[in-house]
Chain A
Amino acid sequence: MSTFVEKLRSYRKPGYYDEFDYHWTMTIDLDRCTGCEACVVACQAENNLPIVGEERFAQSREIKWIRIERYWEGEYPNVKMGFIPMLCQQCDDAPCETACPVYATYHNQDGLNTQIYNRCIGTRTCAVYCPYEVRYFNWFTYTWDEPLEQQLNPDVSVREKGVMEKCTFCIQRIRIAKDNAKDDDERRVRDGEVVPACVQSCPTEAMVFGNSKDPGSKVSKMMKNPRGYKVLEELNTSPSIVYLTKAHS
């Protein structure tokens, strides 16, 4: 038992996250977000997300790895509406990881909070622990009517009933980029070679994705923006997503 605790502590030792190989990070400029939900649709298509149907949607059983939340600023009549895309924050100190009894969710060497569907036994503890409410549970095994199953992404497995799922930062695209980089004289992945589906589809380029360990990457520069903040930072989850708040004149 004591060795187990020691192992856990060494895994959680301070500075562990500085040893990341890559640290995939995203910045979202809320000033640019128009709430068009192109990212939501792109995610749905890329990651084989099921359409749960109207009835189950009403039961709050929809599955959307990224969603647009709406909020209001100011007092009537000077009200402004704002949008904030909410997806898995890939927290460095993720509460969900501590909760899983079978280690189906864990932190990998790239700073990603990952979920292994085969390992998940569906206790849903992680979803309870997640302060951002971005983990989604498969209450049913969803099917795709013909010919829609033809558009499923072969690089992403189709999840079944009883499995928790969440945003992966399009890890399949990261994998392909790494694969190509390895072929090209075993070099590192360059900035801009990995583009998640949501980032790719954003018409206003509100989202920027990249490796924050690379000081020259676009995302590293964006993170230095004084408008930057992290959602629910006071919970010490150290999210990997930096939001740039709306600029006020």
Chain B
Amino acid sequence: MSISVLDALRPAKKPALLTLVLVIGLFVGAWVHGKYLSDRSPVQPIDFSHTIHTTDNEIPCQHCHIYADTTPVAGVPSVSKCIGCHKSLPDVREGPEILKLAAYWENREPIPWIKVHDVPDFVHFTHKRHIKAGLECQECHGSVETMDRVTRVVTIRMSWCVDCHTEKEVENGRDCWTCHK
């Protein structure tokens, strides 16, 4: 008569299988969340690619985000700005995403872009000061020019702001009311 350990393990089979499924589910869930549900990289109404515009076609950031160096907000380009270029690009006019853009233009509706880099309402942030101080867009936004879908690479927290202000010795950069409002 031989003794098998399998008999002893049999009661543990079910929970083990369940655990395995759970672990796999966890990984799949995390991947799906990161890819499609996370606010770090939200799925936008139009699958706009910064890579095509900025890297392939070498359009500078401030060609579309025109207010970055003059006002607190950088500005999301209007539909007319998009259409303005795309009307004269017959080779991509029939693309599915361009047709979506055309539909917004026809319906006279703004594109409901989802904000990726959002600072809380109690924070005073101005793009102008940061651009004029000589910061590159990429220092805070990451390499957006290589992103097919914009992903937030930094965690926008007070410590992150203060660390940079301290490092760069910003004038009054650590006074609370420089950023809080």
Contacts and interface: CB of A to CB of B under 8 A. Distances in A.
B93 interface: no
B129 A106 contact: no
Nearest to A154: B121
Interface stretch (A59-67, A109-117, A129-137, A143-151): A109-117
Interface in A147-168: 155-158
Range, interface on chain B: 10 to 19
Contacts of A21: 172
Interface of A: 21, 106, 108-109, 112, 114, 116-119, 155-158, 171-172, 175, 179, 182-183
B13 to A, nearest CB: 53
B125 to A, nearest CB: 12
Contact of A157 (B121, B126, B172): B121
A158 B122 CA distance: 8
A196 B181 CA distance: 15
A172 B124 CA distance: 9
B175 A157 contact: no
B181 A157 contact: yes
B68 to A, nearest CB: 14
A183 B181 CA distance: 21
B27 interface: no
B176 interface: yes
Contacts of B128: 179, 183
B129 A179 contact: yes
A157 B172 CA distance: 21
